[in-house]
Amino acid sequence: METIALVFLDVLVIIGVSRLIGIGFRFIGQPLVIGEIVAGVMLGPSFLGLISPQASAWLFPITVVPLLNVLAQAGLIFFMFLIGLDLNPKHLKGQGDLALLVSHVSIIVPFSLGIILSIFLYPLLSSGEVNFTAFTLFMGVAMSITAFPVLARIITEKNLQNTSLGSLALTCAAVDDITAWCLLAVAIAVVNTNSMIAAIPTILFAAIYVCLMLTVARTLLQKLDAHYERTKKLSQSALALIYMGVLGSALITELIGIHLIFGAFLFGVIMPKNEDLMREISLKTEEFVLIFLLPIFFVYSGLRTQIGLLNSLELWLISGLILLVAIAGKYLGTYAAARAFNIPKREASTLGWLMNTRGLTELIVLNIGLNLKVISPLLFTMLVIMALVTTFMASPILDFIYKKGTVKLVKF
Amino acid sequence: METIALVFLDVLVIIGVSRLIGIGFRFIGQPLVIGEIVAGVMLGPSFLGLISPQASAWLFPITVVPLLNVLAQAGLIFFMFLIGLDLNPKHLKGQGDLALLVSHVSIIVPFSLGIILSIFLYPLLSSGEVNFTAFTLFMGVAMSITAFPVLARIITEKNLQNTSLGSLALTCAAVDDITAWCLLAVAIAVVNTNSMIAAIPTILFAAIYVCLMLTVARTLLQKLDAHYERTKKLSQSALALIYMGVLGSALITELIGIHLIFGAFLFGVIMPKNEDLMREISLKTEEFVLIFLLPIFFVYSGLRTQIGLLNSLELWLISGLILLVAIAGKYLGTYAAARAFNIPKREASTLGWLMNTRGLTELIVLNIGLNLKVISPLLFTMLVIMALVTTFMASPILDFIYKKGTVKLVKF
pLDDT, tens digit (0-9, with 9 covering 90-100), for A190-203: 888 877 788 888 88
The mean per-residue pLDDT over the stretch B258-272 comes to 91
pLDDT in tens, B341-388: 888 998 899 999 999 998 888 998 999 999 888 899 999 999 999 999
Among B8, B239, B288, the residue with its CB nearest the CB of A250 is: B8
* Predicted pLDDT at A7: 97
Top residue of A247, A261, A371, A372 to mutate, by most chain B CBs within 10 Å, is A247
Is the pLDDT at B201 greater than 60, yes or no? yes
Q: What's the CATH fold of domain A89-292+312-401?
A: Na+/H+ antiporter like fold (1.20.1530)
Is the pLDDT at B92 greater than 70, yes or no? no
Is the pLDDT at A387 greater than 80, yes or no? yes
DSSP state of B411: P
* Predicted pLDDT at B33: 83
pTM here?
Answer: 0.90
Contact B134, B190 (CB under 8 A): yes
Select the highest-mean-pLDDT range: B11-20, B82-91, B94-103: B11-20
Residues 6 or more apart in contact with residue A24 via CB below 8 angstroms: A35
pLDDT in tens, A238-295: 999 999 999 999 999 999 988 899 899 999 999 998 989 999 999 999 999 999 999 9
* Predicted pLDDT at A213: 94
CB within 8 Å of chain B, chain A residues 37-96: 66-67, 69-71, 73-74, 77
Is the pLDDT at B222 greater than 70, yes or no? yes
* Predicted pLDDT at A409: 56
* CA dist., res. A228 & res. A69, Å (int): 35
DSSP state of A64: T
Q: What is the mean pLDDT of chain B?
A: 88
The mean per-residue pLDDT over the stretch A148-166 comes to 79
Is the pLDDT at A215 greater than 80, yes or no? yes
A390 touches chain B (CB under 8 A): no
3-state secondary structure of B60: coil
Contact A291 B16 (CB under 8 A): no
Range with the poorest average pLDDT among A5-9, A334-338, A403-407, B74-78: A403-407
Shortest CA distance from A255: residue in chain B = B1
Is the pLDDT at B338 greater than 60, yes or no? yes
* Predicted pLDDT at A406: 46
pLDDT in tens, B274-293: 989 999 999 999 999 999 99
At residue A36's C-alpha, the angle toward residues A88 and A273, to 5°, is 10
Among B70, B73, B287, the residue with its CB nearest the CB of A236 is: B287
* Predicted pLDDT at B118: 92
Residues in a beta bridge with B375: B126
Nearest-Cα distance to chain B for A248, in Å, is: 7
Burial B275-300 (b: 16+ CB within 10 A, else e): eebbebbeebbbbbbbbbbbbbbbbb
* CA dist., res. A80 & res. B171, Å (int): 43
Among B9, B70, B290, the residue with its CB nearest the CB of A236 is: B290
Nearest-Cα distance to chain A for B1, in Å, is: 8
* CA dist., res. B161 & res. B169, Å (int): 9
Nearest-Cα distance to chain B for A363, in Å, is: 19
pLDDT in tens, A294-339: 999 999 999 999 999 999 999 999 999 999 999 999 999 999 999 9
For residues B393 and B402, the model is more confident at B393
Q: B59 vs A30, A45, B234, CA distance in Å?
A: 44, 35, 40
Q: What is the mean pLDDT of chain A?
A: 88
* Predicted pLDDT at B126: 72
Is the pLDDT at A405 greater than 70, yes or no? no
* Predicted pLDDT at B406: 46
Top residue of B287, B289, B367 to mutate, by most chain A CBs within 10 Å, is B287
DSSP state of A304: T
Top residue of B3, B26, B291, B297 to mutate, by most chain A CBs within 10 Å, is B291
Q: What's the CATH fold of domain B87-290+311-401?
A: Na+/H+ antiporter like fold (1.20.1530)
* Predicted pLDDT at B127: 67
pLDDT in tens, B133-171: 889 999 999 999 988 778 877 887 777 777 888 888 888
A261 touches chain B (CB under 8 A): no
Express the helix, strand and coil content of chain A in percent, nearest 5 each: 80, 0, 20
CA dihedral A379, A383, A388, A389 (to 10 degrees): 110
Percent of chain B with pLDDT strictly greater than 70: 96
B412 touches chain A (CB under 8 A): no
B260 touches chain A (CB under 8 A): yes
Q: B65 vs A207, A269, B37, B45, B142, CA distance in Å?
A: 34, 32, 18, 13, 25
At residue A360's C-alpha, the angle toward residues A355 and A364, to 5°, is 115
Domain range list for chain A: 89-292+312-401
For residues A36 and A127, the model is more confident at A36
Contact A287 B237 (CB under 8 A): no
* Predicted pLDDT at A177: 81
Shortest CA distance from A261: residue in chain B = B5
* Predicted pLDDT at B412: 57
- Predicted ipTM > 0.85: yes
pLDDT in tens, A24-83: 998 888 888 888 889 999 999 999 998 999 999 999 999 999 999 999 999 999 999 998
* Predicted pLDDT at A165: 83
* CA dist., res. A145 & res. A124, Å (int): 23
Among B19, B243, B289, the residue with its CB nearest the CB of A15 is: B243
